[in-house]
Structure 1
Amino acid sequence: MEKRTIDPWQWGERTNSVQAVEIKNPVGTLYCSGQVAIDANGQPSTGDMRAQLLQTIQNLEQLISEAGYACSGIVRLNVFTTSTTEFFTTCVDVYQAFTAKHGIRQATTLIEVQGLFAGLTVELEATVVK
């Protein structure tokens, strides 16, 4: 796989994402359903948004790994949240640590929604290549 990121503006360096990602010659592409903070028994989290994001990231990492891919191959990561304000004030450091840990340089869209499954507050949807 050949990966090229495109970000024509310097302010993009502060967003922990890029404006576009080009992939040539992928071996495979994994389209992940939105992941939320649900435990192995199928129980939704009752924690705050930060706790939910931590669980959601663990679930996404497990899904990607079990599919035979690596988180470093994430090229698109959409974030759905019930409050962008709360996400930026309580969760952005967790999100940035996750992307830095795996060296992810992804195209991202952050979307505020009215509600998510079971009253949860954050969901991650990823596209991964290898």
Structure 2
Amino acid sequence: MEKIVINPWQWQNERHYAQGIEVKHVESTLYCAGQAAVHADGTSSSADMQTQLLIAISNLEKVISEAGYECKNIVRLNVYTTNQEEFFKCFGTFGDWVAKNEIKQATTFFEVKSLFETLSVELEATVVK
């Protein structure tokens, strides 16, 4: 698999995403459902945004690894949040995770009216190998 980052500018680098990702010679693709702060017993977290983001990241990592993929091969990551202001207070956590995993991905951030039950952030990924 060959992954090519397309960034005509530099400003997006500080925001932990790429303007475009081209992928060639893909063996397979994993489309992950949105992963949120849902505990293993199926209950939704009512914790603060930071805690929910950490749980959502953990859940996404679990799906990716159980499928035999690696986080570094995420090529698309959509972030849904009920409160962008609160989410961006936790942006360092998001950025640290992206950097730690050497993820280069196209990302879109969405503020939505609501998510399921008490959830405040959800991560939806496409991963290749």
Instruction: Bin the TM-score by the shorter chain.
Output: over 0.9
Amino acid at match of 2:45: S
Aligned length: 129
Normalised by the length of structure 1, the TM-score is 0.97
Aligned to 2:128: 129
Give the SS at the match of 1:119. coil
Which 4+ residue blocks in structure 1 deviate beyond 4 angstroms? none
Residue aligning to 1:120: 119
Match of 1:82 in 2: 82
Give the Cα–Cα distance (whole angstroms) in 1 for the partners of residues 77 and 106 of structure 2. Answer: 6
CA distance in 2, matches of 1:46, 1:113: 17
1:94 maps to what in 2? 93
Map of 1:18 onto structure 2: 18
Does the residue aligned with 2:35 lie in a helix, a strand or coil? coil
Backbone CA RMSD of aligned residues: 0.6
User: What residue in structure 2 maps to residue 5 of structure 1?
Assistant: 5
Q: Distance in 1 between matches of 2:31 and 2:88?
A: 26
Give the deviation of 1:119 after TM superposition.
2.3
Identity %: 54
Q: 1-side partners of 2:10 and 2:23: how far apart?
A: 22
Query: TM-score, normalised to structure 2's length?
Result: 0.98
